[in-house]
Amino acid sequence: MGHFITLEGSEGSGKSTQFRLLQTYLASRGVRVLATREPGGTSIGEQIRAVLHDVGNDALRPRAEVLLYAAARAQLVEQVIRPALAAGTVVICDRYVESTLAYQGYGRGLDLAALLEITRFATGGLRADQVIYLDLPVEVGLERKRLAHEREHAEITRMDQQALEFYRRVRAGYLALAAQEPERWCVLDAQQSIEAVQAQIRQCVAALLASGGDVRS
């Protein structure tokens, strides 16, 4: 059974960059790695992602939103993640269940117990072995994101248009979740340099994989 590692982060945390660097690093060390993302990662999931990100869908209700995330996740787990883990592949996923708890639970205020039930149904109970969370103050992250949008003319999605308070609750939620399971979470300060954050991510991952002997140092 392969290891399952997820990367979480607030807006502007540099998660995508760190994710790519981690993927390249693991592959360069001879680790068989599968990289995927949420929402998406399958053809059906990417179609659901388009609905979730469409700024025209501002009428989307929180309960419908969470079920769409769950539907994309169910598809990804069954079609991609479980087969890869069964083949001994290390799976790294850009966002997973903890995003739902942070954004729809703490952010939108949906009942956490209900969300746990829904995510358990969607995933068949599959949890990440290690959750890496890139943390930074909300204002810093949103400013970084705004600059990146200006520079790269990146698409603005529906989830980019929430109020400041929403993102504050999301961050507080992540930190509360991490505090409940410190051994499964690795919380890193995303205000450090890209290199420093990546070095700490590699340390976290190496500690996990060392037991399976997957990373040769």
Site of interaction with ligand TMP (CB under 6 A): 38-39, 69, 95, 99-100, 103-104, 159
Half-sphere exposure of 142 (CA within 13 A, CB side): 15
Structural contact between residues 10 and 171, judged by C-beta atoms closer than 8 angstroms: yes
For the chain, state the CA radius of gyration: 17
Residue whose entry in the numeric block shows the structure tokens 């929403």: 166
Instruction: Answer left, alpha or beta for residue 97, where phi above 0 means left and psi between -120 and 50 means alpha.
Output: alpha
Q: Which is nearer to ligand TMP, 8 or 214 (CB)?
A: 8
Q: Which is nearer to ligand TMP, 84 or 167 (CB)?
A: 167
Q: Which is nearer to ligand TMP, 2 or 14 (CB)?
A: 14
Minimum CB separation of residue 106 from ligand TMP in Å reads 11
Minimum CB separation of residue 10 from ligand TMP in Å reads 9
Minimum CB separation of residue 107 from ligand TMP in Å reads 7
Minimum CB separation of residue 213 from ligand TMP in Å reads 31
Q: Which is nearer to ligand TMP, 18 or 99 (CB)?
A: 99
Minimum CB separation of residue 30 from ligand TMP in Å reads 28
Q: Which is nearer to ligand TMP, 99 or 130 (CB)?
A: 99
Q: Which is nearer to ligand TMP, 4 or 69 (CB)?
A: 69
DSSP collapsed to 3 states, 67-83: HHHHHHHHHHHHHHHHH
Q: Find the residue with minimal CB distance to ligand TMP.
A: 103
Minimum CB separation of residue 177 from ligand TMP in Å reads 13
